[in-house]
């Protein structure tokens, strides 16, 4: 198999041809501005945006008018966290999150930490899940927001979102979740899960880049973060700027396609993911699964290969696109901050690779990846003195090395 194989779908996904087909008219003939209410060009653009709002809302159990279109989840996360902090500062200045969040949540929290807000990072267990009792005990009268992602982008671990939402409701605290890795892949219901604010991105579900959405609850309770952008009052005044109509149409169609096939596609992806995991693990020793063994997204497989470097491995199978971390941090030479939060030691963290599957991956591709990964790992380990020591029962991490 000479063709390239793409297994980095958690970073981004290829555009579905059906999504492109839906977008094309709005890139050519139907080019109107959705805010132009005086002629048919604007009306047809607005109609398309309203339709997309319905398509996204349907996957969340939300009302269409609770969907606010953005440029992506990074903008959405910043709007939710900073905007809510500013709007409700008189109620409290305490925000709770976790150390395994995407940087688009962690960095806005760090920003607020420098501006007289208090940020609490909950601990996570070896699988990357928070402790619900710790969350309950950490909420104070000054807590205004809990932000916990649904599915982790690096290790795939799912958080108990419904239980978190219930605790937040009991305590009268707003609950935000980033669902970029779960939207369209696992069922989400903002009412049943007690979610007040939610952020997502189109390019994680075979939609276009540069467009996303926020869910902002309108009642029980009503939530109103202050906008980051001003200039026209678009999107209920929460996100000014001319709407990206083609992108929004693409997001809507991508959401609809996910809704149609979620049950069958989730089962198919889970099967391929487990086939990849079992195939690699049956052919190699000293391989470890990062993240929760069962409570994880259907598309994610993160494996630690002891005594080899992930970067060296990926150079050995260049035709396979995988990742040594999230797309936002994989250029760093530092071990993944997510894996370190789980307590994974540096050696295993440096040897960890994320394989993430998508709609267009096949069983033949997975079988090729299994074969290639096993071959390259064996090749690298043959020249590894550390692996040789480990085979003899010596743990290299416990050896006292002397420098001459």
Q: Catalytic positions, please?
A: 328
SS3 assignment, position 124: strand
- Measuring CA to CA, which residue among 105, 134, 222 is closest to residue 174? 222
- Taking each helix axis from N to C end, the angle separating 17-27 and 245-283, rounded to the nearest 10 degrees, works out to 160
- Torsion-angle region of 156 (φ positive above 0: left; ψ -120 to 50: alpha; else: beta): left
Return d(Cα 163, Cα 250) in angstroms, integer: 32
How far is CA 307 from each of CA 53, 260, 287, 300, rounded to the nearest angstrom?
A: 49, 43, 10, 22
Task: Label each residue of 316-384 as H, E or C.
Answer: HCCCEECECCCCCCCCCCCCCHHHHHCCCCHHHHHCEEEEECCCCCCHHHHHHHHHHHHHHHHHHHCCC
End-to-end CA distance of the chain: give it in Å, rounded: 48
Q: What is the largest CA-CA distance in the chain?
A: 81
CA pair distance 153, 140, nearest whole angstrom: 29
């Amino acid at each position: 198999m000479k063709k390239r194989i793409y297994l980095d779908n958690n970073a981004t996904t290829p555009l579905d041809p059906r999504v492109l087909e839906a977008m094309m008219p709005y890139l050519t003939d139907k080019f109107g501005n959705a805010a132009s209410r005086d002629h048919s060009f604007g009306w047809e653009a607005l109609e398309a945006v309203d339709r997309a709002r319905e398509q996204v809302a349907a996957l969340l159990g939300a009302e269409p008018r609770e969907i606010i279109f953005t440029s992506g989840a990074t903008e959405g996360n910043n709007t939710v966290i900073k905007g809510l902090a500013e709007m409700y500062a008189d109620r409290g200045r305490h925000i709770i999150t976790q150390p395994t969040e995407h940087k688009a949540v962690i960095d806005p929290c760090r920003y607020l930490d420098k501006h007289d807000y208090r940020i609490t990072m909950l601990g996570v267990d070896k699988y990357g899940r928070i402790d619900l009792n710790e969350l309950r005990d950490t909420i104070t009268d000054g807590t205004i927001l809990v932000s916990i992602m649904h599915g982790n982008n690096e290790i795939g671990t799912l958080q108990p979102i419904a239980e978190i939402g219930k605790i937040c409701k009991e305590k009268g605290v707003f609950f935000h979740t980033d669902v970029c890795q779960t939207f369209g892949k696992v069922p989400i219901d903002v009412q049943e899960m007690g979610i007040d604010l939610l952020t997502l991105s189109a390019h994680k579900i075979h939609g276009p880049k540069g467009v996303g959405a926020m869910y902002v609850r309108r009642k029980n309770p009503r939530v109103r973060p202050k906008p980051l952008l001003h200039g026209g009052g678009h999107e209920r005044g929460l996100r000014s700027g001319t709407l990206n109509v083609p992108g929004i149409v693409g997001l809507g169609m991508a959401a609809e396609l996910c809704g149609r096939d979620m049950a069958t596609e989730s089962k198919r992806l889970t099967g391929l993911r487990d086939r990849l995991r079992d195939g690699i693990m049956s052919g190699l020793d000293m391989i470890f699964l990062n993240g929760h063994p069962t409570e994880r997204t259907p598309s994610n497989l993160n494996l630690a290969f002891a005594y080899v470097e992930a970067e060296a491995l990926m150079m050995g199978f260049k035709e396979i696109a995988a990742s040594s971390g999230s797309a936002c941090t994989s250029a760093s030479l530092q071990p993944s901050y997510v894996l370190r939060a789980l307590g994974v030691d540096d050696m295993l963290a440096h040897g960890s690779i994320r394989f993430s599957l998508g709609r267009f991956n096949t069983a033949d591709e997975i079988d090729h990846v299994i074969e290639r990964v096993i071959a390259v790992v064996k090749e690298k380990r043959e020249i590894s003195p550390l692996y040789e020591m480990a085979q003899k029962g010596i743990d290299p991490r416990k050896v006292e090395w002397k420098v001459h």
